Amino acid sequence: MSKAIRQVDGYIRKTKDWQDELNELRRILLDSPLTEELKWRVPCYTFEGKNVAFIGRFKESCALSFVKGVLLKDPKHILIQQTEQSQSVRIIRFTSRQEIIKAEPTLKAYIEEAVDLEKAGAKVKLKTISQYKLPEELEAKFKEMPALKTAFTALTPGRQRAYMLYIAGAKQAKTREARVEKHVKRILSGKGIDD
């Protein structure tokens, strides 16, 4: 059984709509070999220093997220891909404490499987940067400014991916062009979108 930490007490206390649900998820997680921590301002549950699961709140629900959820067998078909771009994380959403109580045996089995995956050193095979389509607007800017392409390829794959997804996420070409222009200096200086 893991030890509760006061930072997570504070996180849950500040939650207006999902306190009971988050406390229920927390109780289940604390009854596992995972260690409770607070990372990125949300409750995180780790095994031997590796992130395994998170709990969190959304406007319409709360969730239990598995970092390597894509590797879980999911016999109950309850794991969902939160966003189209999420390669590894899978979540289970809840809108009531009763749902969590009813799902407790399943959740414990999924947590146990997630810990077993961590013990085995399982890795998620992520897409390489070359598997993403380069936005046309960024490609055009590379032709106009070869130094930008050089700086872009020198960025880490994660930073490249973040720029590509951000630029490509705009529906209109004009907006994509504006996003490229806005970040030219950051790319040239070797910075990521959020640095």
32-53 pLDDT tens trace: 999 999 999 999 999 999 999 9
What is the CATH code for 6-119?
3.90.1150.200
What are the residue boundaries of the structural domains of the chain, listed by start? 6-119, 129-188
Q: Directed axis angle between helix 173-188 and helix 136-144, to 10°?
A: 50
Tell me what percent of the residues of the chain surpass a pLDDT of 70: 99
pTM beyond 0.85: the answer is: no
Contact 132, 162 (CB under 8 A): no
* Per-residue pLDDT at 2: 74
Alpha-carbon gap, residue 114 to 25, rounded angstroms: 15
User: Using CA atoms in the order 41, 43, 46, 51, what is the torsion angle rounded to 10 degrees?
Assistant: -50
Q: How confident is the model at residue 176 (pLDDT cuts 50, 70, 90)?
A: very high
- List the structure tokens of 59: 């406007």
Say which residue, 11 or 1, is predicted with more confidence. 11
Q: Please tell me the predicted confidence (pLDDT) of residue 55.
A: 98
Average pLDDT on 65-89 reads 92
